[in-house]
Amino acid sequence: MAPSSCMQADAAAAGTDVEAEINPEQLYQHFTNLISTFPSSNGLGHLRFYRHGQGWNASMAPMVGAMVADACFTARPSDIVVATHPKCGTTWIKALVYATVHRGDHPPATAADHPVNSSSPHECVKFLELQLYTGKSVPDLDELPDPRLFATHVPFASLPRSMARSGSKIVYVCRDPKDTFISLWSFMNRYRNTAGLEPLPVETAAELFCDGLSPFGPYWDHVLGYWRAHVAFPERVLFLRYEEMQRDPAAHVRRLAEFVGRPFGAGEEEDGAVDGIVRLCAFEHLSTLEMTKGGNMELAVGAMENNAFFRRGVHGGGLGEPSVSGDGAPDRRHYRGQVQRFWSQRLLA
């Protein structure tokens, strides 16, 4: 898309006129300057966090990317967007979505040369704000065939406005908050180590997470935003729980296929296509691949080793980590209160 088209789309949504062309570098600089005026603080990570006007926190580069995507991205009704809060099963759901949507061209039975085996799920389904709208460039996505697959960590309220207008489908995955926190704490300390910073103690990280100072947090606002969108538009927003996916992955692959308009036929069921996708995308398989063991993933917030994205996600797996309080009591009380708040709002939505 031409730079002027970005600004025209943004101006049309805002009800203003744009007479001068603005190139991508100017657009990135405009949003960088804007974000630099937002409240900022240290957060659960290695970079300074800024607070978006719609209430969420992120470091500079992904927030700029989200704003440029809002101005420039032209969604299609056929688009499928994977949305998650960080460390909620993003890698797994990306692999499942890609394998399910593209099973005609890449049957799971031919796993040896399947793209999931040679490319990271994060290369198969790229983040808008972390991989595509980065580096002061605006990608040309018009030539991508339907259905286009994208991913985002951005809260629902700040998704590109063209998504709402187009009717794109969104697949959202949420996860138990304590497991999310433990995984995020471990992941962000790897970034801190790469940057030459001391690791965050779990007590400090827990305070930041509970205060919403985590990437794209507050966590509960993120979950509730997509839950309410699912309640209002169930045909457009699929809401999944990571723990339920783990208990019955095959049922969720079938549900996913129905949602994206590509249900499994009787012949596919007989040939074991569903189970083939489950095996292809399983942690036990993906974690053994060469692309997982080596190489880096380039993101707007910095490069990270591919193996960092394949930490085994077991429900309650973080319970062996140090507790926030030492005896764990305040920690348990806090999460019990958070869970009660979520479900009470879920029932009232």
Any idea which residues carry the catalytic annotation? 153
Q: In what order do the strands lie in the sheet with 126-127?
A: 126-127, 149-152, 80-84, 169-174, 237-241
286 vs 306: CA distance, rounded Å? 11
CB 13 within 8 A of CB 159: no
- Partner residues linked to 169 by β-bridges: 80
Alpha-carbon 155 to chain mean position: 9
Residue 151: both structure tokens together: 């991913």
149 vs 211: CA distance, rounded Å? 32
CB 120 within 8 A of CB 290: no
CB atoms under 10 Å from CB of 51, counted, come to 18
φ, ψ for residue 44 (rounded to 5)? -80, 80
Classify each residue of 53-70 as buried b or exposed e, where b means 16 or more C-beta atoms within 10 Å of its C-beta: eeebbbbbbbbbbbbbbb
Residue 192: both structure tokens together: 């801190």
- Partner residues linked to 238 by β-bridges: 171
Helix 90-101 vs helix 249-259: angle between axes, to the nearest 10 degrees? 60
Looking only at the bridges linking them, the beta strands covering 302-305 and 296-299 are: antiparallel
Residue 68: both structure tokens together: 């440029």
